[in-house]
Amino acid sequence: MPSARMLNRRRVENTNWRVAGALLTCLGIAFNRFVVTLQTQSLPTLSFDTFMIYWPSIQEWAVVLGVLSYGVAQALAGAGSITAIRSRRSSR
């Protein structure tokens, strides 16, 4: 979805679509971490193995929060710079 929105010019220029694309990208990165870990640890490989219950460690939650906070910081920085650029253009 984030890359598909780039196909339409109106969506590229719309702030709501930009924010949605950024959030989906960050969530995709975060969930990909869980998918890679979950699939390799929870499936029984031998006949006598049992299913394991997986819960992410604090380090994995920290990675997720780091990625999400980085996305929020980028969105806020972008919104601030866009506002500064627009105010400079209007003052000319």
pLDDT in tens, 5-44: 667 777 777 888 888 888 888 888 878 877 776 666 666 6
Is the pLDDT confidence value at 91 over 70? no
Could you give the number of structural domains in the chain?
A: 1
Amino acid at 17: W
As a whole number of angstroms, the distance between CA 72 and CA 66 comes to 10
* Cα atoms in the 13 Å half-sphere on the side-chain side of 12: 6
Range of the domain at 52: 4-91
Q: Residue 58: what pLDDT?
A: 92
Residue with tokens 């989906």: 24
As a whole number of angstroms, the distance between CA 33 and CA 40 comes to 11
pTM over 0.85: no
